[in-house]
């Protein structure tokens, strides 16, 4: 698994390569400057510590001063961060630092919009594994900054028996039994169901959580009634913002939404350079 520092190193090497032929021919190594990162739109902030580590990766003497914390609502026009140090370092790190900030803040900002749709209900919104390869830890962190919750981090930390698992195991009962024979008693088992028959099979097999996949509202309401609070109920499958309120009112416990990460649009941030 990539660490944040690994991602930063990869990103800087990708951008700078053997050297910044523009900056290195214009700016002397002794020139000191200041960078001011400004919000060009209203946004929820995420990625402050990552941005700081981008600058310190190249130069530990850069002074990084954040006016806000991750999870804060930032108004358009506000100064978010000030950095001061070698002008060469600031110019070389500008794009990479902004890429992390813009992507992660974009996820947090989009997530907050989804969360606001159900803020008067008890339902929890959760993300999925539909993340940028290598960025999962960061993107799921950004989801939390937007006010939602994380589903499993990967295939290693949660059991989710899906349709393909059920098919190769010869049914839900067999799939649950095989998993139960090996995993710790502390691990919960979630089973995906797309029909009323599969819901009953998952209940009888001893699932801890049932994922209602791509069901319509009537089917979801019927399934919730059958389950009757015996296990947690999650709903998933092409969920959009305008469906959230109605889905929450069916009585489900969790709504998983791939769009929190895979369809988030980067926010608009820019860095203005000043000589000191």
Of the candidates 190, 213, 234, 253, the residue annotated as catalytic is 213
On the CB side of 160, CA atoms within 13 Å amount to 19
Distance CA 70, CA 44 (A): 8
Distance from the first to the final alpha carbon of the chain: 40
Annotation marks residue 13 as catalytic = no
Assess whether 95 carries a catalytic annotation: yes
Host H or E run for residue 106? helix 87-117
- 192 part of the active site: yes
Euclidean distance between CA atoms 186 and 190, whole angstroms: 13
- Among 84, 94, 127, 192, the one annotated catalytic: 192
Three-class SS of 147-174: CCECCCCCCCCCEEECHHHHHHHCCHHH
Residue 8, both tokens? 């930063």
Strands of the chain, DSSP E: 32-39, 43-44, 63-66, 73-74, 79-86, 124-126, 159-161, 189-193, 209-213, 232-236, 254-256, 269-275
Q: Is 124 a catalytic residue?
A: no
Given 82, 95, 144, 178, the catalytic residue: 95
Beta strands in 2-131 (DSSP E): 32-39, 43-44, 63-66, 73-74, 79-86, 124-126
Residues 6+ apart with CB under 8 A from 265: 106, 110
Label residue 226 left, alpha or beta by phi (over 0 means left) and psi (-120 to 50 means alpha).
Answer: alpha
Given the residues 13, 162, 177, 245, select the one marked as catalytic.
162
User: 130, 144, 178, 180: which one is catalytic?
Assistant: 130
Residue-level length of the chain: 276
Catalytic residue status for 92: no
Cβ burial of 18 (10 Å; 0-12, 13-18, 19+) is exposed
Active-site residues, by number, are: 95, 130, 162, 192, 213
């Amino acid at each position: 698994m990539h660490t944040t520092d690994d991602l930063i190193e990869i990103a800087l090497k990708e951008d700078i390569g053997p050297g910044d032929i523009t900056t290195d021919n214009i700016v002397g190594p002794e020139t000191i400057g200041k960078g001011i990162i400004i919000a060009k739109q209203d946004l929820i902030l995420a990625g402050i510590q990552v941005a700081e580590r981008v600058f310190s990766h190249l130069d530990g003497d850069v002074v990084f001063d954040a006016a806000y914390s991750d999870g804060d609502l930032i108004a358009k026009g506000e100064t978010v961060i000030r950095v001061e140090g070698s002008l060469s370092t600031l110019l070389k790190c500008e794009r990479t630092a902004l890429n992390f900030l813009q992507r992660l803040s974009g996820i947090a900002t989009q997530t907050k919009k989804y969360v606001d749709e159900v803020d008067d209900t008890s339902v929890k919104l959760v993300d999925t594994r539909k993340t940028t390869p290598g960025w999962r830890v960061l993107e799921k962190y950004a989801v939390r900054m937007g006010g939602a919750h994380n589903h499993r981090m990967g295939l290693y930390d949660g059991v989710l028996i899906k349709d393909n698992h059920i098919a190769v195991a010869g049914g839900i009962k067999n799939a649950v039994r095989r998993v139960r024979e090996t995993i710790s008693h502390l691990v919960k088992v979630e089973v995906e169901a797309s029909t009323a028959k599969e819901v009953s099979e998952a209940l009888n097999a001893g699932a801890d959580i049932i994922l209602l996949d791509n069901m319509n509202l009537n089917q979801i309401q019927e399934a919730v009634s059958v389950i009757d609070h015996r296990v947690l109920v999650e709903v998933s499958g092409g969920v959009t913002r305008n469906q959230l309120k109605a889905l929450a009112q069916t009585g489900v416990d969790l709504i998983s939404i791939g769009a929190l990460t895979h369809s988030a649009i980067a926010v608009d941030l820019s860095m203005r350079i000043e000589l000191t």
